Amino acid sequence: MYRIIRTSLAVLLLSACAAEPAGDPAGTVTITFSSYNYGTQGAAGTGTQALLDRFAAVHPEITVRPEAVPVADVLTKTKAAVAAGDAPDVVQIGYSKLAEAFQTLPTRSLESIAGAEWRPHVEGITPGPVETGRYQGAVHALPYTISIPTMFYNADLFRAAGLDPADPPDTMDEVRAAAQAITRAGHHGVYFGIVDSSKSDYLTQSVLNSAGGGLLDGAGKVAIDSPEAVAGIRQIQRLTTDKLQPAVATEDALAAFSAGQLGMLVVSTAVLGNLQAAAKGKFELRSAAFPSFGAGPARPTHSGAALIVLSSDPAKQRAAWQFVKFLTGDEGYSLITTKIGYLPLRAQLVTGALAEHLRQNPLLVPTIRQLDAMRPYRSFPGPRANQATVLLQDDAIAPVVLRGADADATLHKVAERIRDLVGR
């Protein structure tokens, strides 16, 4: 830090003060970080703070000013900030909103900002989510907090229902059978967190993919009403109509599972830390991979968020890259896994720095093993991609899965509306 040398001459004092930068102390750069995990309760909030604290220790020359934003509002609030000339420098943005972010926000090429550091940094990161962040020929987003849907289950309820907790279900037929047994024993059977307040469709896509369909077909056209897609969603719907799955919001299902009243919960590993805390001393928490939906293998897609940079100032861009590089490096991903519960996206960590942690905390292991089967997250095309996703979740998935709406007619009607919206 520069020091202003005091002197008895007022003119020199005024001159020295005029030379001091108006913003940051000399030699430091301040950047803003818009995050929907920051400031939240539980592991996501404390884990994010641990990342910020560690970065501050490693990079004292960079000050990160975090800003909390609700997950459902991150895109709209960022758009408003950009329009007001007060864009955050780094943004944690969910994958369901990323395609529209590329179309509507001044995202920067991370490859260009990183320069010679780019290639050695991205080597070793799971390639699928990196490619998902490619826009106009360059990567504009790097994977930050990533998960694929996982089945958490209450081993005590399995035993009470006459099930073997060492042999969890790995097909939808087996899920139904286990849910029936748990329901007969007096508890809720299963819950797929396919409808949530964040409007994310990662679990919807996982169901569609695993049933042999997809959000889009091979030509990039909307395919949520294909026979395969309808059949996949109908399997989730039948769990509700057959009273094997409670017709409640995901938050209520999380509460029921945490209270030991729900046998199986299929959600993101982002809730792992909270589930472990809730289960401690109450019931035995275990995990299994996402189930298959037919003759083919399970094909889950990833949820979570990427990091984008909006800075236009070169000094802030360089600082933003150092921050992104830390969060997506060995130490950042290790903290994200151990403190929050998201997946380690560098394979060498699984057998290296995180090996002992995973041995003592094996709940992530089934999901890590399924990474090779992971399908890339796909987005509806165009600048209304997020609007289309919200339409899918609110007007198709929620009515069908929770309220018994006709799956074929509802998915076809909403598909037509989405086709009009995105031009596909």
For residue 137, how far is the Cα from the chain centroid?
Answer: 24
- Residue 295 predicted with pLDDT over 80: yes
- d(CA 74, CA 83) in angstroms, rounded, equals 14
Pick the residue with more confidence: 17 or 291?
A: 291
- The label of the residue with tokens 């017709």 reads 247
**Mean pLDDT in residue range 80-86:** 97
Closest listed residue to residue 284, CA positions, set 187, 155, 188 = 155
What average pLDDT score do residues 12-38 get? 64
Write the pLDDT tens digit of every residue in 358-404. Answer: 999 899 999 999 988 888 889 898 889 889 999 999 999 999 999 99
The DSSP bridge partners found for residue 31 are 64
Longest dimension (CA), the chain: 88
Q: How much of the chain, in percent, has pLDDT values that exceed 90? A: 79
Strand pairing of 29-35 and 62-68?
parallel
Which range has the worst mean pLDDT, 1-5, 323-327, 377-381? 1-5
Q: Residue 407, SS3?
A: helix
DSSP secondary structure code for residue 151 in this structure: E
pLDDT at 20 over 80: no
pLDDT for the residue 27: 67
Separation CA 75–CA 382 (nearest Å): 15
DSSP state of 362: G
List, for residues 237-263, the tens digit of each pLDDT value.
999 999 999 999 999 999 999 999 999
